[in-house]
A and B are shown apart, each in its own frame.
Chain A
Amino acid sequence: MSVVRVYVPRDAAALAVGADDVASALRDALERRGAAVEIVRNGSRGLFWLEPLVEVETVRGRAAYGPVEVDDVESLIDGGLLEGGTHRLSRGLTEEIPYLARQERLTFARMGVIDPVSLDDYAAHDGWVGLRRALTMEPAALVDEVLQSGLRGRGGAAFPTGIKWKTVLATTAPQKYVACNADEGDSGTFSDRMTMEGDPFMLIEGMTIAGLAVGATKGYVYIRSEYPHAIATMNEAIARANAAGFLGDDLLGSGKAFHLETRKGAGSYVCGEETAMLESLEGKRGIVRAKPPLPAIEGLFGQPTVINNVISFASVPIIVAKGAAFYRDFGMGRSKGTLPFQLAGNIRQGGLVEKAFGITLRELLYDFGGGSASGRPIKAVQVGGPLGAYVPESQWDLPLDYEAYAAVGAVVGHGGLVVHDDTADMAQLARYAMEFCAIESCGKCTPCRIGSTRGVETIDRIVSPTTTHPREQQVHLLRDLCETMLYGSLCAMGGMTPYPVMSALNHYPHDFGIEPSLAPDVERDDASTQHKQPA
Chain B
Amino acid sequence: MLEASQQQTLGVLLARHRSTPGGLLPLLHAVQEALGYVSADAVEDIARAFNLSRAEVHGVITYYHFFRSAPPGRCVVQVCRAESCKAVGGDALLAHAEAVLGCRSHHTRDDGAVTLEPVFCLGLCAMSPAILVDDRPHARMTPEKFDRLAARLEIAA
Contact = CB atoms under 8 A, between A and B. Distances in A.
A439 B63 CA distance: 11
A175 B136 CA distance: 39
Contact of B123 (A227, A301, A420): A227
Given A187-B82, A187-B84, A420-B87, A16 B124 contact: yes
Interface stretch (B4-12, B64-72, B108-116): B64-72
A189 B29 CA distance: 25
B40 interface: no
A280 B59 CA distance: 12
B123 A189 contact: yes
A227 B124 CA distance: 10
B123 A12 contact: yes
A342 B137 CA distance: 19
B91 to A, nearest CB: 9
B137 A286 contact: no
A386 interface: yes
A17 B123 contact: no
A301 B23 CA distance: 12
Nearest to A440: B120
Interface in A267-282: 267-269, 280-282
A228 B86 contact: no
A48 B127 contact: yes
A12 B24 CA distance: 28
A12 B127 CA distance: 11
B151 to A, nearest CB: 17
A266 B124 contact: no
Interface string B128-141: 10101001111110
B128 A345 contact: yes
B83 interface: yes
Contacts of B28: 266
B121 A266 contact: no
A130 B122 CA distance: 32
A436 B86 CA distance: 13
B88 A345 contact: yes
A386 B65 contact: no
Interface in A218-260: 225-229
B49 to A, nearest CB: 12
Q: Which of A13, A16, A352, A382 lies at the interface centre, i.e. has the most chain B CB atoms within 10 A of its CB?
A: A16
Given A16-B130, A264-B29, A429-B83, A225 B24 contact: no
A450 B9 CA distance: 41
B82 A12 contact: no
A186 interface: yes
B25 A283 contact: yes
Contacts of A55: none
Given A263-B25, A266-B66, A344-B84, A226 B126 contact: no
Contacts of A13: 123-124, 126-127, 137, 139
Interface in B39-84: 50, 59-60, 63-67, 82-84
B82 A283 contact: no
B125 A350 contact: yes
Contact of B64 (A186, A267, A350): A267
Interface residues of B, number: 41
Interface string A182-214: 001111111011000000000000000000000
B85 interface: yes
Nearest to B130: A16
Interface residues of A, number: 61
A312 interface: no
Nearest to A222: B25
B7 to A, nearest CB: 22
Given A269-B120, A286-B64, A416 B125 contact: yes
Contacts of B85: 187
B135 A228 contact: yes
A9 to B, nearest CB: 13
Nearest to B62: A285
Contacts of A190: 123-126
Given A51-B127, A187-B82, A266 B138 contact: no
A16 B88 contact: no
Nearest to A194: B123
B19 to A, nearest CB: 12
B23 A187 contact: no
A264 B128 CA distance: 24
B62 to A, nearest CB: 9
Given A225-B66, A345-B83, A283 B127 contact: no
Contacts of A263: 22, 25-26
B25 A350 contact: no
Contacts of A439: 120
B119 interface: yes
B83 A226 contact: no
A193 B123 contact: yes
Interface of B: 21-26, 28-29, 50, 59-60, 63-67, 82-88, 119-128, 130, 132, 135-140
Given A286-B64, A440-B120, 13 more contacts: A12-B137, A185-B121, A188-B83, A226-B121, A226-B122, A263-B25, A265-B66, A266-B66, A283-B50, A344-B126, A424-B87, A429-B86, A439-B120
Interface of A: 12-13, 15-17, 48-49, 51, 184-190, 192-193, 225-229, 263-269, 280-286, 301, 342-347, 350-352, 373-374, 382, 386, 416, 418-421, 424, 429, 432, 436, 439-440
30 contacts: A12-B122, A12-B123, A12-B124, A13-B126, A13-B139, A16-B138, A16-B139, A48-B127, A49-B126, A188-B82, A190-B123, A190-B124, A190-B126, A226-B119, A229-B137, A263-B25, A264-B25, A266-B65, A266-B66, A268-B63, A269-B120, A284-B24, A285-B59, A343-B126, A345-B83, A345-B84, A345-B88, A418-B83, A420-B87, A424-B87
Q: What are the 4 closest A-B residue pairs judged by CB atoms, nearest first?
A: A350-B126, A283-B24, A187-B82, A344-B125
